[in-house]
Amino acid sequence: MAGTVVFDLDGTLADTAGDLIGAANAVLARRGLAGLDPVGDAAIAFEGGRAMLRAGYARASAGMLIPPGAEDEDFPRLLDAYGAAIAVHTRLYPGVEDALSVLAADGHRLAVCTNKPEGLADSLLRALNIRDAFASLVGADTMPVRKPDPLPYREAVTRAGGEVGQSFLLGDTVTDVKTAASAQVKVALVSFGPEGPGISRLRPDAMLDHFDALPALARGWLG
């Protein structure tokens, strides 16, 4: 019996760090602040826009004052900058497209559940030419709550026409582990995301080293 495979987006389907950090750096530069490093700060990028801004503020030189409310002012600017250059450096991880095709051929429903705003997630998936592979997309602002609350995950499965009990989550962070636990489903984490193989410390139900192995994992878990 086929089921539903739910994907996180950033750090799971695609390496988006370069464009996320580029947007943050454009905003930080407006305040005369040094930017983040696209490689060294990649993990911060996957924590979200506000995390990148806070990291930039924390590195301000001595005597440089960050005004109260700066984060709330800069966050919409960051989103605008990101939306304007959303897929300049972003690339799908190797094997994504082939894995999605095999999963679909096996009869599985595919969904995305991300803490990226829905509109930006939709734009990115379209820019990467994989939006049509997914029966549903639930973003950070689709529901009143976001991951790790189980509601967005359950909604993603339901909108895809699936059943939560016959689904699992593929992600790359502790948020995804907590989401799966709250939704009472299995979780696999990718070893090629921002933290690399070290993410196995979170003890997911499985680790995925390459997308080539995902169809077999889905067959084992979902039939």
Q: Provide the annotated active-site residues.
A: 8
184's tokens: 């009472």
The residue type at 69: G
What are the phi and psi torsion angles at 50 (to 5°)? -65, -35
Provide DSSP, 143-184.
SSS-TTSHHHHHHHHHHTT--GGGEEEEESSHHHHHHHHHHT
The residue type at 108: H
The residue type at 1: M
Closest CA to 10 of 174, 173, 185: 173
CA angle centred on 41, ends 21 and 80, rounded to 5°? 15
63's tokens: 């005597």
Count of CB atoms situated within 10 Å of the CB of 110: 21
Element holding 120 (H helix, E strand): helix 118-127
58's tokens: 């924390």
- Cα–Cα distance measured from residue 12 to residue 171, given in angstroms and rounded to the nearest whole number: 5
